[in-house]
Amino acid sequence: MIRSLAFNAFFYLGTLIAAVIGILLVPIPTPVLLRGLLHQWARATVWGMRWIGGMKVETRGLENLPTSGPVLLAGKHHSEYDGILLAARIPGIAFVAMQELFRYPLIGAILYRLQMIRVDTCGGGRERENLAQFAKRAYDSGRHIAIYPEGNLMAPGERERYRSGIYYLSRDLGLPVTPVATSIGLLWNRRDWWKKPGRAAIEFLPAVEPGLDKQSFMRRLEEVTEGASDRLIAEFSGRPYTPSQLVLRSQGQAGMGAPITAPRAAP
């Protein structure tokens, strides 16, 4: 409990300071300084997680992460830390973020200047066009683009339906998609105030290549991401391997559904 309180103090104070500095940098025409601030804030947070909060997160599969962009990353989303780790490792990364975040005071202005990609997760074809437009800007700049296909923070062992925006990005930009699995929710679950010291991992998986039809692409992406995340959860929790369960948070449904029917290899 003490380590969690200490880390929270470090994290929220550091975030507030970074946001204040970020607002001062917003009027500068170039986003370079603001992106550097994001990168350094994320690195400081990763340091604080380990040395203050006692959360040791192993990074695996770096050989599957391209060193230069443009790149598409599709990640499992347990908590804010998923994005923080990517921002700490990849300077200038472009996140696909819900449009509601752009409406927040201060934060919205910073996100606009950082040229993050805003999207309405329930927006249909029109929003797909907007996603393509903003993502093309990041693509032309050679940036890594990170998207969370479920569109929601999910607890360990849960999954949402995967939105098809990532398929259209891969198809239209002609880019493979690197899935990102995680078990970080065991330590920092969704927006929980209390964090738990311990070990977890994030893993970059072999890319899903473009050229598949939509159904095959989405099934492949979901199978590899969920399967790898479930194996990491089993490894770091000490519990038996269990396929993730469907939870439709975006539709306000909290009930558990059927597990993914595709075969999963045991860890």
CATH number at residue 110: 3.40.1130.10
Q: Tell me if 257 is assigned to some domain.
A: no
- In this predicted structure, the answer to whether residue 12 has a pLDDT above a threshold of 90 is yes
φ, ψ (nearest 5 deg) of residue 264: -125, 135
Q: What is the pLDDT of residues 55-68, one digit of tens each?
A: 999 999 999 998 88
Span 158-167, average pLDDT: 91
Q: Roughly how many angstroms between the first and final C-alpha of the chain, as a whole number?
A: 31
Q: What is the pLDDT of residues 205-226, one digit of tens each?
A: 999 998 899 999 999 999 999 9
Of 232, 248, 128, 135, the residue nearest 179 (C-alpha): 232
Q: Tell me if 43 is assigned to some domain.
A: yes
Q: 70 preceded by cis ω (within 30°)? A: yes
Residue-range definition of the domain harbouring residue 124: 2-251
- Rounded to the nearest integer, the mean pLDDT of the chain is 87
- Tell me how far CA of residue 94 lies from CA of 29, 141, 145, 187, in angstroms: 18, 10, 5, 25
Q: How many domains does the chain have?
A: 1
Q: Among 32-46, 75-89, 153-167, 253-267, name the one with the lowest average pLDDT.
A: 253-267
**CA atoms of 88 and 107, how far apart (whole Å):** 19
Q: Which residues contact 129 (CB under 8 A, 6 or more apart)?
A: none
